[in-house]
Structure formats: structure tokens, C-alpha cells
Chains A and B, each alone.
Chain A
Amino acid sequence: MESSSTISLNTLKKKDDAIKYSGKKIRIAAVGGSQTAINMTLFVLVAATVYGFLTFDYKSMDFLRAVSLTLGNIKTMFIEARLSHITLVEAFKELSITLGLSILTTIIAAAIALILGLLSARNLSNPKIGNVIKAVVAFIRAVPTVLWILIFAVSAGLGSVAAIIGLSFHAIGYLVKAYSETFEEIDYGVIEALKASGASWWQIVFQAVIPSSASYLMAWTFMRFEINFMVAVAMGAAAGAGGIGFDLFMAGGFYFDVREVGFITYMILGVALVLEVISTNIKNKLLY
């Protein structure tokens, strides 16, 4: 045993000697360019941050005092949370309006995005039509939801109608991309098999494509629903769409009532938590 281990150690040492550095530096990364780009980006970000902090206009603000006051506010907000300007029933009613807003926009967006997603998936549709849809949808996604709502507010007036159209619009942009990529992921063989047996396009879509991707479609739709809920809260405040967001805005910006802000925040947090639990359950059930 002893001798054999020494022998192997010796061979190891020998092998170690065999690896000798010769000549110039040897590159091991696959592509040199990407690493340089990442380094450059990081450097620019760090430089910009440092420059930003050095040139802030701090006025005569006492930093420590400001921090302690803010912490005090947060403490009041979350420990002494209570409603004062609206009743609990009213708050729940408003919360349900916000939820309704997000459900409605998700359903509208999902229905339209399903069709557009099928038409823009590379394996199911004419590539020209697909590319046009993808380009339009990319543009819709690039413009923030708030801007769409304000754009539609020009014709529909500031309120729930503009909020629904604007929210649906952006959600369509998001879901078309998600859906079409899901469709593109499915095995082409299945489509080929049904095509070879004489099935029509719609039959292939409903008998093979959608059953194969249903769980992912559900997961994406629910994820967008969660996003829509958050945006619907913000839109209640920003675009006067109504719902709990408007009460939050009134409590914070009009009555300066941090306790009410705290209570409403808890309510929204509660809903978000429930949605998260449901979405995790859906994914676990459907994906396996």
C-alpha cells in the first residue's frame, strides 16, 4: 500500500512537471469580446455612481436626522397601521375594483395575445406576418404602461376606460412575446405528424400546440396577472382609474396619513402574497 501510494505520488509530480509554461499567454475564454464589454460596462456604472454622489445637491439637509425621521415614519406606517378616512368595507370594495381591473385586462390581453402569438410563432405561421407582428409588439412593449394609459386618456378621458385599454395594450405586447416563444419551443415533430395525417392548421393548433404548451401559457398569463395587479394599483393613483390605488394616493398625497398608507400597503401585500401562493400551486400542478 505504502509503496504504491508513493509511486502514484511520484507520477503525479512528474505529470505536474510536464505542464510547463511555454511561449505567450494562452487564452481560455471562448470569445474574448464579451468579457471586455462586461468589464467596460461595470467600470462605467461604477464611475457614474461615484460621480453622482459627489455632485449631489444636498442643500442644508442633515443626513442623519433625515434618516432617523424616515425610519420613524416607516415605523408609524407599519406598526400603527389603521384606516381613518375610509371604512374597512370600503377599502375591500376598492381592493376588489383593482383586482377586477387586473382580471379584466389579463383576460382581454390573453385572448388577443393567443391569436397574435399563434400568428407570430415561427413554426406555425408565415415568417413575414410573424416578423411584422413581433416588431409591432416589441414597440408596444418598449413604451411603458403609464404612457399608453396617458395616450389613450386623450381619447377616452382620464379614468378606468383609458386604464383598461392602456393596461391591456401593454399586457398584449408582453403576452404575445411569451406565448409565441412558448409555441416555438414545442417539438416540431408533433406538428409534422398531424400535418402528415391531413389535419388542418386550426386542428393542429388545438389538438397539439395548445395541449403541449398549456401549462406554460397558464404560468405566463398568471405572471402577467400579478404584474397587472401591481400596475392597476399604481394606475389608480396616477391615472385616476379608481380602486385601492386611488385611496392610497389620497391617504399619502392628500391627507398625509401615513397610518392609512400603512394599512392599505398591508392589504395590497396580502393580495400579492395570495396571488404568489396560487401561481406557485398552478405551476407545480400543471408543469409536472
Chain B
Amino acid sequence: MALLQISRLSKEYLGGTKALTDVNFSVAEGEFVSIIGPSGAGKSTLLRCINRMVDASEGEISFDNINVSNINKKNLRLLRRRIGMIFQHYNLVNRLSVIENVLHGRLGYKSSIKGVMGVYTEEEKQRAFEILNKLGLKEQAYKRCDQLSGGQKQRVGIARALIQDPKLVLCDEPIASLDPNASKIIMDHLKNINKEMGITCIFNLHQVDVAMKYSDRIIGINNGQIKYDGPPEALSRDMIYSIYGTEAGELITD
């Protein structure tokens, strides 16, 4: 049984914009999947439908044998804490320290009061430091997040997702705001997490070459529909052009 099963998923925003049309695919546990496609193709919407940050109009999503579509509010919290999310703009609380931001990933496991007061157990704090150490951020633990570089901020974002003990990590353009070197560090960390900890990763990516290099599987989306779903080796140049809707030779791919 696949970890994530998406069938006949459609999303129409208020005002009639069709973001997704009849999307079907499934992801097995431990897969490293990239979703590529032009801006506005519906990649972000697709990712956000999985953890219900966006409500789908039609279709079904099941995650770990739970039907995500008609889940109540309490169970939605339980679902979300098992799905980590990483963002293009890191989305950290800049005025708090690195370690506090990492521990935010545990809020889903806490009672409201403890979360409000920011009370974490010693085990959680220890785990947070282990993760930071692994990501090479031990020295930065007590720095405020606005003192970090982009690459460091994204690593804090990864740490926040990891401390949730997720089965699946959704990455929305994780390297779109980073320089090539920081991008490589981030992608290597994510690949490690996938290999060593067996966490399934689904990526939105703009960089086709990065997607080809790192992923086990690539899904190409254009205009809300899946154009390609298969291994990176089988993704031809013509296919890439058709995903991006351009003529051959007009893309910067490497």
C-alpha cells in the first residue's frame, strides 16, 4: 500500500481559477519525488492539498490509510504533525532563537497551554540539539533567526520539520531563494534525511537539473494536469519543453 494516494484530485479557487484538474498519482514510502512545472501550474496548490492547507474541490487523498479529505479538526492536527513542511521563504519567527524555532515543530504534540507557554520536555530539547548538530547548526542554536544566512535559515526550517518525526516532508521550492552552494547543501541534507531516516520527500522545484540529479521520480505539471510521471532518466528534452510549454532550445536547464 502506498503511503500517499491521490485520485481524481481537482481544485478550483473562488472566482473560477482551475488550479488542478484530475490529478492521480501515488507515492510509496521512502520515495524522493520532484514536481516540476512552470509558475502557476498548480505545484504549490497540489502540495498544500496533501496537508489540507488548501481544501481540494474534488477527489480523494489518502495518507497512510487515512482519508485526508473528510477528517475532523482534531484529527487534522494529528495528521499535520506527521507531515513536515519546508518553505521557500523559510517562514521562521525571526525574533526568536534558532532552538525555539526548531521546537515549534513539537507544538502539534503538546497541549494548548504548554504550547502557549513554550514549555518543552528535556527529551524534546535534547532531540532538537541532536538535529541541529546533524545539520551543522550547533553553534547557532541561541542566535536569533534574523542573524542567519539564507542557507542556515533553511536548515532551521528542515530541523523544525524533522523534530515532528514526520513520515512525509513536503518541500515548497526549498532552494528557490538560495545561491548554488547553499542549494547543494540543502539538497544533500534532504537526500540524507530521505536515505538515512527513510522519510518520504515530495518537492516542488524550479531547477530541472536539480530535480534530475536528486530525485527517484519526477512529476511534470502544466496547467493543473500531470504531463509526465516517471524516472528522471526517461524524461526527454522534448518532454521538458512540453511541460514548460516552450519551443525547444528556449530553456535554461543546466
Contact = CB atoms under 8 A, between A and B. Distances in A.
A and B are interacting partners: yes
B28 interface: no
A55 interface: no
A188 to B, nearest CB: 9
Contacts of A200: 77, 107, 112, 115
Interface string A174-207: 0000000000000101101111111110110111
A196 B80 contact: yes
Contacts of A212: 93-95
B115 A190 contact: no
B95 A198 contact: no
A197 B104 contact: yes
A198 B87 contact: no
Contacts of A198: 77-81, 107-109, 164
B96 A196 contact: no
Interface string A123-159: 0000000000000000000000000000000000000
Interface in B79-126: 79-81, 83-85, 87, 89-96, 104-105, 107-110, 112, 115-118
Interface string A198-225: 1110110111100110110000000000
A214 to B, nearest CB: 7
Nearest to A195: B53
A197 B87 CA distance: 12
Contacts of B93: 190, 207-208, 211-212
Q: Which of B83, B85, B91 has the most CB of A within 10 A?
A: B91
In terms of DSSP, what is the predominant structure of the interface of chain A? helix
B92 A190 contact: yes
A189 B91 contact: yes
How many residues of A sit at the interface, in one of the four size bands? 20 to 34
Given A198-B81, A198-B107, A199-B107, A211 B96 contact: yes
How many residues of B sit at the interface, in one of the four size bands? 20 to 34
Nearest to B113: A202
A197 B160 contact: yes
Nearest to B108: A198
Contacts of B157: 193
Given A202-B112, A207-B107, A211-B96, A192 B91 contact: yes
Contacts of A205: 116
Nearest to A215: B95
Contacts of B110: 203
Nearest to B52: A196
B225 interface: no
A197 B95 contact: no
Interface string B38-58: 000000000000010100000
Nearest to B78: A198
A193 B169 CA distance: 13
Contacts of B104: 193-194, 197, 199, 207-208
Contacts of B78: 198
B245 to A, nearest CB: 28
A145 to B, nearest CB: 33
Nearest to A204: B107
Nearest to A207: B104
Contacts of B96: 207, 211
A193 B81 contact: no
Interface of A: 187, 189-190, 192-200, 202-203, 205-208, 211-212, 214-215
Given A197-B104, A208-B104, 7 more contacts: A193-B157, A197-B161, A198-B79, A199-B107, A200-B112, A203-B110, A212-B93
Sort A-B residue pairs by CB-CB distance and give the 5 closest, nearest first: A198-B108, A198-B81, A203-B115, A199-B107, A189-B91
Interface of B: 51, 53, 77-81, 83-85, 87, 89-96, 104-105, 107-110, 112, 115-118, 157, 160-161, 164
14 contacts: A187-B89, A189-B91, A193-B85, A196-B80, A196-B83, A197-B84, A197-B161, A198-B78, A200-B77, A202-B112, A207-B115, A207-B118, A212-B93, A214-B95
